[in-house]
Amino acid sequence: MKAWAIKKPVIQGCLGIAVALLLLHNFLLTVSLIPANPLSIRYAHQAVNYINRLSPQGWFFFTPVPTKSHMVVFRDAALGPGAPWQNPFLDAIQKHRRNPFGFSEKVAYIHMSLSRDLAIFFEMMLDAQEVDKEKALKNDPIYRQLISFLHFYGGKDMLVEWQFVEYVVPRFSERAVHDALIENILMKGFVQL
């Protein structure tokens, strides 16, 4: 009974602190997600820093309007320029299309992520005028990721030619004119596996 008398205020205090933290969390969540206003601007830095840690992907993916998609393709350089390009994720993507309950969903996610990171790198390089783009790419972690991905699908001890391709979705008003996605090659190179 005596022990409980000592513990009770401590427990109540801890629960009180926990409740305050929960309310603070809800406040920061609200401030970081509502449109900019005087209150959200005042606390935006702290709130966004905190909330982005909880959701590394960011919260604005709930409003997608993708106007382009990206793809990495490669081929064995020894086969010459006439060799067909391969997209190693195509099989997984097609399986996922046929059966969304199947197990290709995560492979499609990995492909999306790799493509998104490469697209971000490409956008950054467009803004940076005075940079050696090839050197910058080779120093970027995304390049290591690209090589390990080519290694996984391409094999070992071979020279591989790769391309990073952008597919632009035709504008809604022009969908009758373009019946397919518009293809642009953004980056290309060779890599020894």
Partner 1 sequence: MLLIEHIQSFIRRYNDRSQTFRIFEISVVLWFIFHSIKLWQSIDLIVALDPFFAKPVARFPFGFDLFVYNLSPKAFIGALVLFMALSLTALFIEMDFFVKATLWFLYINLLTCCPPLADGGTTLLATLWFFYAFIDLKSLDGSRFSIKDVFNSVLIFSMQYQIVIVYIQAALSKIRTDGWSSGVALYYILQVPEFTNPLFSDLIVKSDVLTVTLTYATILFQLVFPFAILSQKSKFVVIFLGILFHLGIASSMGLMCFGIFMTLTYLLFLTNEDLKRMRYFYSVIAKNLLKIAS
Q: Which is nearer to partner 1, 39 or 79 (CB)?
A: 39
| Torsion on CA atoms 136, 160, 180, 93, rounded to nearest 10 | -100
Q: Which is nearer to partner 1, 49 or 184 (CB)?
A: 49
B/e letters for 95-121, b = 16+ CB within 10 Å, e = fewer, are bbeeeeeeebeebbeebeebbebbbeb
Q: In what order do the strands lie in the sheet containing 182-192?
A: 68-76, 159-168, 182-192
Gyration radius of the chain's alpha carbons: 25
Q: Which of 4, 80, 101, 177 binds partner 1 (CB under 8 A)?
A: 101
Q: Tell me if residue 101 falls in helix, strand or coil.
A: coil
110 binding partner 1? (CB under 8 A): yes
Rounded CA-CA distance 124/187 in Å is 13
Of the candidates 47, 45, 18, 22, the residue with the CA atom closest to the CA atom of residue 32: 47
40 binding partner 1? (CB under 8 A): no
| CB 126, CB 148: distance < 8 Å | no
41 binding partner 1? (CB under 8 A): no
61 binding partner 1? (CB under 8 A): yes
Q: Which of 40, 43, 59, 76 binds partner 1 (CB under 8 A)?
A: 59
Q: Tell me if residue 129 falls in helix, strand or coil.
A: coil
11 binding partner 1? (CB under 8 A): yes
192 binding partner 1? (CB under 8 A): no
Scanning residues 134 to 163, which ones bind partner 1 (CB under 8 A)? 141-142, 144-145, 148-149, 151-152
67 binding partner 1? (CB under 8 A): yes
- Chain residues binding partner 1 by CB under 8 A are 11-12, 15-16, 18-19, 22-23, 25-26, 29-30, 33-35, 49-50, 53-57, 59-67, 69, 71, 89, 93, 96-97, 100-101, 103-114, 141-142, 144-145, 148-149, 151-152, 167, 169, 172, 175, 181
